[in-house]
Amino acid sequence: MQQCYIVRQSYTYGENGDRINPGRVWDFVENIEDTSFDFGIMPRQQFIEKTIRIRLEAAGVKLHSPCKCVNIEKTDEPDADGYYITATLRDMTTREEYTVKSAYLMGADGGRSFVRRHLGVEFEGNTTQDKWIRVDGRVITNLPTPRNYGSIQSANHGNVLWEPLDHGATRIGFVFTEEQERRCNGNLTEEELNTGIHDAVNIGWKLALVVKGKAKPTLLETYSIERRAAAQGLIAFDRKFSTLMPNKWPEDMHKVSYEDINAALADLFDEAQGYNTGLKIAYEPNLVNVVPAKDYTSICVGARAPDAGLFKPGLTAVSTTLNSAGHFRSFFSDTAKLDTIVSADPKLSAEEGLGVPAFGTVYMDDKRQAHSRYGVNLRYGSLVLRLDGHLWFAAELSVAGLEAVKMYLGKFIISKMGIQQKTY
């Protein structure tokens, strides 16, 4: 992703242009932990969408666009091919209509979703008369730190957010309230694309496994359970944030505890930084996130598993990170892949380090950072499963532990998905 600008620092300025130290609001970018991507970026949506389109094409996916869903028919019983849904789609270039049959239908068609309205699914949430204004452009400024994140506490427009973008551009964002401009009315809630991507990642692998007949359909129920709770948390944050930005107090915040409304906004940002980075999004126990019998790791199931650098035997440069996407991709092959992480010097062979043959691909954790961050007992080790970036399950590192993992996977996996053991 090169169509964006990497930022690691932030500055806060008061009404008179004086720098406020320590900084507020964006200062979380200076303290991002548990990921090798320890910076902030503000990728513009057009570039994200373009990248996704290129990747889809490279993966051989044919995108039907522009195309509009104009009708949906749903039956209670499947047809001979197992399909419940018939959707009528209109090619918006040729205006020709055609039907597509499917077992599942996903409404990813935006805030005014045709799918949602057609199926009578309620739209939850509320609206505001305040309007978010975002101006993207190249600006001439005397701001001392224009290529860092900034928060400017203005007297008349509340907090103004300053965000460097790609190609030398800058985004300036603030909230226009009814009092400031009576002609403005609108209802824009701040549901960023970040959340949409988390949603897509969450449903993507689940739907793929179910459609391919590799997982039980009950797996799909965990999507709403997990993502609804995350979205509700974000909306609650967003409501407060949008009120504080133009210097108004949200009903459920105690203004008596703050001398300055900007301090309240800063506190709120600190509280919600996990939504901004995505690193503190955690899901409750469910079919996938299963609390183990013992504490084999200090990471809670459902939590976003942290990154930790690992070395391949013999190498001294970090070869992978413990939360890298490769592990997730391997899950889509027919086998759940195992890695063995040995708390030993990278020069050693895995067997020398472990004293016994290793499972799967071997990585060395010579400084024991990964073991320590995951709270894994150095002497006994553990089996830790984290396939979509979140920790699912843990078991003891033994034959009994492997059986526990197989039993766990068997609750939602129905393919011949086994656990591959590489012998050395």
Ligand X SMILES: Cc1cc2nc3c(=O)[nH]c(=O)nc-3n(C[C@H](O)[C@H](O)[C@H](O)COP(=O)(O)OP(=O)(O)OC[C@H]3O[C@@H](n4cnc5c(N)ncnc54)[C@H](O)[C@@H]3O)c2cc1C
Which residues contact ligand X (rule: CB under 6 A)? 44-45, 67-69, 108-110, 114, 134, 191-194, 196
Cα distances from 205 to residues 198, 200, 389, 419, in angstroms, run 12, 9, 12, 19
- Quick check: 55 and 1 in contact, CB under 8 A? no
Nearest approach in angstroms of CB 193 to ligand X is: 3
Select 200 or 253, whichever has its Cβ closest to ligand X: 200
Q: Which of 376, 375, 385, 383 is nearest to 323 (CA)?
A: 385
Our CA angle for 78, 417, 306, nearest 5°, is 105
Nearest approach in angstroms of CB 110 to ligand X is: 3
Nearest approach in angstroms of CB 192 to ligand X is: 4
Amino acid at 178: E
Select 171 or 312, whichever has its Cβ closest to ligand X: 171
Select 185 or 298, whichever has its Cβ closest to ligand X: 185
Class of residue 61 by CB neighbours under 10 A (exposed 0-12, middle 13-18, buried 19+): exposed
Nearest approach in angstroms of CB 90 to ligand X is: 8
Separate counts of helices (H) and strands (E) for the chain: 10, 19
Select 38 or 191, whichever has its Cβ closest to ligand X: 191
The token duo for 1 is: 């992703």
Rounded distance, CA 349 to CA 352, Å?
5
Nearest approach in angstroms of CB 273 to ligand X is: 16
**Residue 6 has what DSSP assignment?**
E
Select 52 or 325, whichever has its Cβ closest to ligand X: 52
Nearest approach in angstroms of CB 357 to ligand X is: 46
Rounded distance, CA 358 to CA 374, Å?
19
Select 272 or 350, whichever has its Cβ closest to ligand X: 272
Three-state DSSP class for 229?
Answer: helix
Select 51 or 194, whichever has its Cβ closest to ligand X: 194
**β-bridge partners, 396:** 382
The residues, any chain, with a CB within 8 Å of residue 291's CB and separated by 6 or more, are: 285, 301
Nearest approach in angstroms of CB 251 to ligand X is: 25
Rounded distance, CA 323 to CA 289, Å?
17
Nearest approach in angstroms of CB 329 to ligand X is: 23
Nearest approach in angstroms of CB 391 to ligand X is: 26
Question: DSSP secondary structure string, 335-401?
Answer: EE--EEEE-S-TTS-HHHHHSSPPPSEEEE-TT-HHHHHTT--TTT-EEEE-SSSB--EEEESSHHH
Containing 91, the helix (H) or strand (E) segment is strand 85-91
Select 20 or 69, whichever has its Cβ closest to ligand X: 69
Select 32 or 69, whichever has its Cβ closest to ligand X: 69
